[in-house]
Structure 1
Amino acid sequence: MSVSGVREAAAIWARAKARRDRDPEPATVEATAPGIRRRLDLPGAKLLLAERGGRPVGFALVAPRARTLELFYLAVDPDAWGSGVGSRLLQDVEQHAREVGREVLELWVINDNERAIGVYERAGWVGTDEVERDPASGRLERRFLRHIG
């Protein structure tokens, strides 16, 4: 993945997270990019970038696990929320899972992120009883699965 792809994804993530959390200012790309790079360093990791009018408006970052394809990031620029970008990215994630031979997708989402949970549930993801506290934010996260086989 090009450095610009990582920077574009980091900027989208920062804007989406700031809007979600009602932060007055988004984090800088420099603060956000290391987390994305860390996940991209996983074996088989892939960044899927969505564009509209030649401008990046969303991304997904996935990596294969032993039995699943894990979705580590899904973010849409707040200016494109509600336009179907997230749903389209989830379709692309499913296609990639098929290409790498995975029939189960997994992700962890902040338990009170109702907007994201709604997107996942409309796309066929199912919440599990597995919850963990994110060590960085202290927020509770729930595991979601999607069987595509």
Structure 2
Amino acid sequence: MTAPLKLTTHRDLEAAREAATIWGLAKAHRDQNFEPDPVEKTLPGIQRRLDIAGAELILAARSDNYVGFTLFAPRGESLEIFYLAVAPDSWGGGVAKALLASVEGYARDMSRATLDLWVISDNERAINVYKRAGYTDSGQLQHDDSSDRTERRMVKDLG
């Protein structure tokens, strides 16, 4: 039987480092790289988003091991998700679903009408997770200079 998932909100450097570790692992697995980026490379992006007014970082843990996280902040009438990542050995275990439900709860508590995010256009696994959670493709595309990849905007109406 799988241990229960525990979600906790954090703002400290150690939590940001945990998130950066998970991000590196998930990104390496997604891109079929043998080695994840070091925390020192992934941490600045997480810290930059965590510095946005109202930003929240939620870590998901099972049996005292962090297995996923999300980082989001209010943007106008929306709540924007900047990061959602699950450690590859926990993929398919409901972690992303629980994190997305938690973000939706925050959005409703803050009276936000929509949730939105940008996802790499060829990341079919992530796109399918978002679609199952009720997100739709807005049709908007942008080029992400840091990854040199095209991203698409996905939106969930909470009305």
TM-aligned CA deviation for residue 67 of structure 1: 1.3
Equivalent position amino acid for 1:145 in 2: V
Matches of 2:110 and 2:59, distance apart in 1: 18
2:77 partner SS: coil
Matches of 2:37 and 2:51, distance apart in 1: 22
1:83 partner SS: coil
Q: Which runs of 5+ in 2 are unaligned?
A: 1-10
Q: Count the aligned residue pairs.
A: 149
User: What does 1:1-149 correspond to in 2, within 5 Å?
Assistant: 1-149=11-159
> 106-115 or 132-141, which moves further after superposition?
132-141
Please tell me the root mean square deviation across aligned C-alpha atoms, in Å: 0.6
Matches of 1:128 and 1:39, distance apart in 2: 22
> 39-48 or 129-138, which moves further after superposition?
129-138
Matches of 1:137 and 1:60, distance apart in 2: 19
More strand by share: 2
Q: What TM-score comes out, normalization by structure 1 length?
A: 0.98
TM-aligned CA deviation for residue 128 of structure 1: 1.2
Question: Structure 1, residues 17-57: CA drift from partner, whole Å, max 9, x if none?
Answer: 00000111000011110000000000000001111011110
1:145 partner SS: strand
Matches of 2:12 and 2:53, distance apart in 1: 17
* % identity of equivalent residues: 53
Matches of 2:51 and 2:12, distance apart in 1: 13
Question: Structure 1, residues 95-133: CA drift from partner, whole Å, max 9, x if none?
Answer: 011122212000000000000000000000000110011
Question: Structure 1, residues 60-87: CA drift from partner, whole Å, max 9, x if none?
Answer: 0000001100000000000100000001
